[in-house]
Amino acid sequence: MSRARDMADLGAVTARLDTVGAASGSFGVGRNVVINGAMNVAQRATSATGLGGNADSYHTIDRFKLGAEGTTAGRLTMTQDSSGPSGFANSLKLACTTADTSIGSGELLVLSQIIEGQDLQRFAKGTSDAKPFAVSFYVKGNASATYVCELFDGDNSRHVCKTFSVTTDWTRVELSFPADTTGAFGDDNGASLYLQIFLHAGSSFNSGTLPATWASKTNANRAAGGGSFFDSTARTFFITGIQLEETSVTDFEHRSFGDELLRCKRYFEVYAPATNDDGSLLVVRTRTNVNNYNGIVYFLEKRAQPTCTVDYDRLHKPGVAKDTLSNISVTIGSGQTQSCTVNCTPDNDSTISTSAFLGKNSGTGSLKIDAEL
């Protein structure tokens, strides 16, 4: 058999494997646009309590933002839960702790992942070759409920929505959304697509008609037909295995923990955590009128210039007592995405050391680097 024939046969087999693999979820690497869809990475915390009207932030599981508007009296806890359907070790759990059955018109609670435009070009949105969107995930709750899943194009203020049902058993939800030949996603690092689950909404968001095809955003249509997570203090909502891909739903694309962690660190990183008075971050003495110390920290490249915060409170000087700090700050150059400078001054100016380590007297101290969308 000729080499040319061998290569042709190999190509045919490879194409077949790619087709079968994509359908089975074994191949087709990179299908899932969502980061941390299996809820494995939680750098900030594994639990947050008292969330509700002030919940518009990232609290626990990486890349999943809990957004709130209005003045809802409802409150909840958000945790990384060690349960899931077969093949999943973790899920994101919301548990209502204070109900709100008197819903104001402007109230809203939404769970979302925000995606960069440059990661969405495969959908060819805004062109004649636009591809459909396929969303899938696993959900369960304490009782039957109905919520709304929305794809919101922030670049062009367009959206499309569908309701889905929750039962007391783990169920895979598979939602197909049509292609959109209007409005391209920006090819940049900005917020382009919001994959959102509406869990609670007032009349300003649910008094209209759900848009089954892409349309200009109308707030009243966004959560039409959805229920309220805050309808009972017994209410729970679990979700995992979130996937967004082009054209049609396939099996969930499992990625390694290390792979997901690196993806998450593009947006948020906890650098050099130190627990129980241990020192971790190296700084060097720079003599001026007092014993200042500073250190350059190099971290994984972020999506954009991050906001950096520190909560160290001790300076560990080799061979001498640990000093408390009179001040500590972080500076970062304009447009810098890979490094920052940590500056501090110890209370004890007479004890000199060429180098030292930042630490914390009690609890865990760290440098937090945030470039979330």
Please state which of the ranges 138-142, 216-220, 353-357 shows the lowest mean pLDDT: 353-357
The 3-state DSSP class for residue 22 equals: helix
Average the pLDDT over 66-71 and give the result: 89
pLDDT category at 5 given cuts 50, 70, 90 is very low
pLDDT reading at 138 higher than 80? yes
- Are 138 and 164 in contact by the 8 Å Cβ rule? The answer is no
Residue 15 scores a pLDDT above 50: no
Q: What is the pLDDT of residues 173-198, one digit of tens each?
A: 999 999 999 999 999 999 999 999 99
The C-alpha atoms of residue 193 and residue 185 are separated, in whole angstroms, by 8
Residue 222: its pLDDT value, please?
98
Percent residues over pLDDT 70 in the chain: 92
Predicted pLDDT of residue 353: 84
Confidence at 28, pLDDT banded by 50, 70, 90: low
> What is residue 300's predicted lDDT score, i.e. its pLDDT?
96
User: pLDDT tens digit string along 240-267?
Assistant: 999 999 999 999 999 999 999 999 999 9
**Contact in structure between 189 and 120 (CB atoms under 8 Å):** no
DSSP string, 247-289: SS--S-----HHHHHHHHHTTEEEEEEEETT-EEEEEEEEESS
The stretch 335-343 carries a mean pLDDT of: 97
* Across 159-169, average pLDDT: 98
356: its two tokens: 């030292």
The alpha carbon of residue 116 and the mean position of all alpha carbons in its chain are separated, in whole angstroms, by 12
Residue 346, token pair as written in the block:
């110890």
Round to whole Å and give the CA distance between 296 and 293.
11
pLDDT given at position 12: 47
Specify the 3-state DSSP secondary structure of 307: strand
194 bridge partner residues: 114, 152
Closest CA to 112 of 165, 166, 69, 144: 69
Residues with Cβ within 8 Å of residue 6, at least 6 apart in sequence: none
Strand order in the sheet with 364-370: 268-275, 364-370, 307-310
What are 229-243's pLDDT values in tens digits?
A: 999 999 999 999 999
